[in-house]
Amino acid sequence: MEEILADTVDQTVFENENMYRQIIEYSVDPIVIHRNYKILYINQSGTRFFKGLKEEIVGTCVLDVFQEEDKPIIMERNRQAMAGTEPLDVIEETITKFDGTKVEVELYCHPVIFGDKKAIQTVFRDVTVRKDTEKLLNHQEKLASIGQIAAGIAHEIKNPLTSVKGFLRLLKESYTHPYLDVMDAELEKALDTLKNLLQVSKPDLQEEKVVSINFCKELSSLMLLFQERLYNVEVELDLRDSEITIFGKKNLFLKAFFNLIKNALEAIEEKGKITILHYHKDGWIHIKVSDTGVGVPKDKLKMLGTPFFSSKSDGTGLGLTQVFTTINEHGGNITVESVVGQGTTFHIQLPVKQ
């Protein structure tokens, strides 16, 4: 009788372990089981996630996928997991896949029994998309806040300057002096700058109708405006999927891409090249404007699009502010990559909506 009970218990344990293996094998989350840092098992989702084969991954050290500076943290978590029975707190880390790409992940760790011995089961959950979305939302919120502040300041400054300009006109009717003309011209520049600031900080999108826009056609036409500046600059237009159109405020887009191309030209000090790429992928229009100019330092990239921030000595930064504002208002997003001395690429993505 005891032997029958023992056989029944063994069969139940075997069936439970087999069911457990099937559950984690076909889980949508990448799951790794390891002991003493050696990977004992990885499920199908894990092999796809890490871009490797099971036979390549099993037997390797789980620490190898983590950044060098994060390994002490992972080692301490392993010690805690092996010493306890409860799941550990979820943490976020950056890991390197077998193909060399880096991603941000959430780690869910808890102790398990694997092969009659205690081990650690770690679930890797990719949070790269969520992180990128959070960064984009934070950036948009910052732009909106800066825009509101800028609009308020612009209104406060514009009113007294307009009054000064009016009295200056009256003064010029009674007196003539070259300094008065200089003052009038400088005041006009200041008022134009404030006008541009008001436009990009709080654009009135209701004044323009939504129309169908073919960016391939519009980008080709825009380049004609820069013919006199293209003697030392090579331009490559790679306009694919030319039949795809989107709906939006056409004039706002034209001004945005005019500013981007103008900035690209001004970034090239002597000879260089500008590449404009257009293609359609997964319901999005992608437009990349690249130059071989002076580039932007890495610590300055996050400031691009902020009013009055410019890498040019005589720039106001309002041109790029208008670009970022227009793209965001149309539900798109924009990323910038730059290397000092090599050039800059603006990557714009816009949704194709009916």
Question: In this structure, are 332 and 347 located in the same domain?
Answer: yes
* Whole-number pLDDT of residue 20: 61
Q: What is the pLDDT of residue 214?
A: 92
Q: Packing angle between helix 215-223 and helix 250-267, nearest 10 degrees?
A: 50
pLDDT score of 181: 84
Query: What confidence score (pLDDT) does residue 13 get?
Result: 46
Same domain assignment for residues 114 and 15: yes
Same domain, 180 and 257: no
Find the angle CA(336)-CA(330)-CA(150) to the nearest 5 degrees.
75
**Residues 197 and 234 both lie in one domain:** no
pLDDT value, residue 193: 72
Last residue of a domain, one of 202, 223, 252: 202
Burial class (CB in 10 A: 0-12, 13-18, 19+), 231: exposed
Residue 125 bridge partners (DSSP): 106
Task: List the CATH number of the domain containing 243.
Answer: 3.30.565.10
Rg of the Cα atoms in the chain = 30
Nearest to 321 by CA among 309, 302, 307, 303: 307
Question: Are residues 27 and 106 located together in one domain of the fold?
Answer: yes
Task: Report the alpha-carbon distance of residue 230 to residue 271 in Å, rounded.
Answer: 9
Cα 121 to Cα 112: distance, rounded to the nearest angstrom: 6
- pLDDT tens-digit profile, the chain (354 residues): 445 444 444 455 445 556 666 777 878 889 999 999 999 999 988 999 999 888 889 999 999 999 999 999 999 999 998 988 888 888 989 999 988 888 889 999 989 888 788 999 999 988 887 777 666 666 666 666 666 666 667 667 777 887 788 878 888 888 888 888 888 888 888 777 776 666 555 555 446 788 899 999 888 888 877 776 677 888 899 999 989 999 988 888 888 898 898 888 888 888 889 999 999 998 999 999 999 998 888 878 777 766 555 555 555 556 788 888 888 888 899 999 999 989 999 999 999 875
DSSP E strand boundaries for the chain: 31-35, 38-42, 91-96, 102-114, 117-126, 211-213, 233-239, 246-248, 272-281, 284-291, 333-339, 343-351
The residue among 92, 126, 160 that closes a domain is: 126
Is residue 107 domain-shared with residue 62, that is, in the same domain? yes
Question: 164 Cβ partners below 8 Å, 6+ apart?
Answer: 187
- DSSP state, residue 303: T
- CATH for 109: 3.30.450.20
When divided into structural domains, the chain yields a total of: 3
Pair (197, 239) in one structural domain: no
The rounded distance, in Å, linking the Cα atoms of 149 and 153 is: 6
Which pTM was predicted? Answer: 0.47
pLDDT at 17: 59
Same domain for 119 and 27: yes
Which pLDDT score is estimated for 172? Answer: 82
Task: Indicate the burial class of 18 (C-beta count within 10 angstroms; 0-12, 13-18, 19 or more).
Answer: exposed
pLDDT at 127: 86
Look at residue 5 in the predicted model and tell me its pLDDT: 42
Specify whether 132 is located in the same domain as 193: yes
Statement to judge: residues 221 and 345 lie in one domain:
yes
Instruction: Say how many C-beta atoms besides its own lie within 10 A of residue 92's C-beta.
Output: 11
pLDDT of residue 9: 42
Choose one of 169, 202, 235: the last residue of a domain. Answer: 202
268 and 347 co-located in one domain: yes
Q: What is the pLDDT of residue 2?
A: 46
Domain around 280:
209-354
- Domain match, 219 and 313 both: yes
